[in-house]
Amino acid sequence: MKKKRGVKKGHIAAFFVIVAAFAALIASNVLDHAEEISLGLDLQGGFEVLYEVHPIDEGQQMDRELLTDTVAALNARINVLGVSEPNVTIEGDDRVRVQLAGVTDQQAARELLATEARLSFRDVDDNLMLDGSDLVEGGARQSFHPDTNQPIVTVTLEDANLMGDVSQEIMQNPDNRMAIWLDYDEEDTFYEEIQKEDSKIVSAPTVRSVLRTTDIMIEGNFTVESAQQLAGVLNAGALPVELEELSANAVGASLGERAMDQAIYAGFIGIGLIFAYMIFYYRFMGLVALVTLSIYIYLVLVVFNWMNAVLTLPGIAALILGVGMAVDANIITFERIKDELRSGKSTMSAFRAGSRRSLSTILDANITTILAAAVLFYFGTSAVQGFAVMLIVSILTSFLTAVFGSRLLLGLWVNSRVLNQKPRMFGVKEREISEL
């Protein structure tokens, strides 16, 4: 029998220092990172609409620029609503998806988003008198009517003479009302629309004298809030396009929370079972796997937070599945080491040969899966994309932790010589070992 060489205590100390350092790092900020990750609609509740974009004018080209303008205009509008983390994305050639997490008043949000905010001033025969291009940009505001103290919206014209001419013209009509329209369409007529309960005509004041002024007061059935929103939308600018609602999805927040709690609870159980099995089956190596898997979960959370990605239910599922992939990399390596031990190699050379031989297997398996995930990300839409992102992040991180992390940590123990002649620590029985 070989003489047992001295144990290198420094290696074991290094192992505990590394583990302690990571434990301290994880304990100190894992909760901060977990809390900073923005949650998808399915987890925190909110409101999602998918719009199809149609150009307003016949001659308008449907192109990328028009879509980008639409997104910019929608973002400006959402600011009026005061949503903290809106998500407006272009999908395909003519779609825009708007996700508003945590929005409580869905009706207001829907109306605010879809209105084109094209303000126009017309006579009762629907002839155009003034439109948005005659207004000072950003000149709309909410104020109160000087006489009635009702909330109103005032807009500013670029030239006082404009209003003078218009009011003079309208005064001469037998029906001397001036209709203030929002989103007038070719087929709309004044007398039909004014009857409607939810009319596109915001107000129709009677013009009795020539008004040479730049300020126009729009009275309507406003509350302070709705007047503020209309002013905000007018300032944010008209949408360059017409939006058709393809689908709308409202998620109640309490259901989201519940789904989240359940998924996390299930995740803990699943990961706990994996840990228990790994230690039971691979003994000492399982313990190392437990350390690297914990680091893996922590790193995925940190990377996800850095990327500002949105975590959804399929994302959580991909994260938990990623744990499975990380475990797989460990298992492939550990099985190889066990093979080498069984063939009669010493602990140190079994560790070296096992690590080396398992690398190409893990590499090929991971690259093919990443290839599939990358294609999904490139061609998929929202839900599939979120899943693919999480899968790619998981695989890359698992490769780092399971291959390099496990190798480093296990290597410290193996090279300390403490484990020499102790195949049972690796889950290998003495009688399985064949003589060289």
Partner 1 sequence: MNFEHENTKIDFVKHRKKFFIFSGILLMTGVILLVTLGLNLGIDFRSGTTVEVLADETVTAEEIAGEFQELGLEPDDITLAGGANDIARAAFIGALGQQETLEVQAHFEELYGNTPNVSTVTPIVGEELARNAIISVLIAAVGIIIYVTIRFEFLYGISAIIALFHDALFILTVFAIVQMEVNIPFIAAVLTIIGYSINDTIVTFDRIRENMSYEKRIKTFDDLARVVNKSLVQTLARSINTVLTVVFAAAALFIFGGEAIRTFSFALVVGLVAGTYSSLFIAAQLWMVLKWKQLQRKKKQRTAEPTEA
Q: Are strands 119-122 and 179-182 parallel, antiparallel or unpaired?
A: antiparallel
User: d(Cα 382, Cα 142) in Å, to the nearest integer?
Assistant: 38
Minimum CB distance to partner 1 smaller for 157 or for 320? 320
Minimum distance of partner 1 from residue 215's CB (angstroms): 35
SS3 343: coil
Tokens of residue 313, six digits: 């239910």
Beta bridge partners of residue 280, listed in sequence order: none
Minimum distance of partner 1 from residue 140's CB (angstroms): 26
**CB of 288 within 8 A of CB of 239?**
no
Minimum CB distance to partner 1 smaller for 190 or for 387? 387
Q: What DSSP string describes 12-71?
A: HHHHHHHHHHHHHHHHHHHHHHHHHSEEPHHHH-EEEEEEEEEESSTT----HHHHHHHH
Residues 46-85 that bind partner 1 (CB under 8 A): 50
Stretch touching partner 1 by CB under 8 A, among 159-167, 216-224, 272-280, 401-409 = 272-280
Minimum distance of partner 1 from residue 333's CB (angstroms): 10
User: d(Cα 197, Cα 372) in Å, to the nearest integer?
Assistant: 54
Minimum distance of partner 1 from residue 387's CB (angstroms): 4
First to last CA, the chain: 14
Interface pick for partner 1 out of 60, 307, 364, 404 (rule CB under 8 A): 364
Stretch touching partner 1 by CB under 8 A, among 1-9, 122-130, 175-183, 259-267 = 259-267
Question: Does 274 sit near partner 1 (CB under 8 A)?
Answer: yes
Tokens of residue 404, six digits: 């390099």
**How many residues of this chain interact with partner 1, rule: CB under 8 A?**
73
**CB of 121 within 8 A of CB of 130?**
yes
Question: Does 342 sit near partner 1 (CB under 8 A)?
Answer: yes
Question: Does 125 sit near partner 1 (CB under 8 A)?
Answer: no
User: d(Cα 385, Cα 369) in Å, to the nearest integer?
Assistant: 15
Question: Does 366 sit near partner 1 (CB under 8 A)?
Answer: yes
Minimum CB distance to partner 1 smaller for 121 or for 282? 282
**CB of 145 within 8 A of CB of 152?**
yes
**CB of 283 within 8 A of CB of 413?**
no
Stretch touching partner 1 by CB under 8 A, among 59-67, 363-371, 401-409, 417-425 = 363-371
CA dihedral 370, 374, 377, 383 (to 10 degrees): -20
Stretch touching partner 1 by CB under 8 A, among 215-223, 346-354, 383-391, 398-406 = 383-391
Stretch touching partner 1 by CB under 8 A, among 8-16, 106-114, 123-131, 218-226 = 106-114
Question: Does 371 sit near partner 1 (CB under 8 A)?
Answer: yes
Question: Does 344 sit near partner 1 (CB under 8 A)?
Answer: no
Residues 311-340 that bind partner 1 (CB under 8 A): 313-314, 317-318, 320-321, 323-325, 327-328, 331-332, 335, 338-339
Type of residue found at 311 = L
Residues 131-190 that bind partner 1 (CB under 8 A): none
Question: Does 367 sit near partner 1 (CB under 8 A)?
Answer: yes
The dihedrals phi and psi of 266, each to the nearest 5 degrees, come to -60, -40
Count Cβ atoms below 10 Å from residue 405 Cβ, excluding itself.
25
Question: Does 365 sit near partner 1 (CB under 8 A)?
Answer: yes
Question: Does 191 sit near partner 1 (CB under 8 A)?
Answer: no
Question: Does 360 sit near partner 1 (CB under 8 A)?
Answer: yes
**CB of 55 within 8 A of CB of 62?**
yes
Minimum distance of partner 1 from residue 332's CB (angstroms): 6
Question: Does 424 sit near partner 1 (CB under 8 A)?
Answer: no
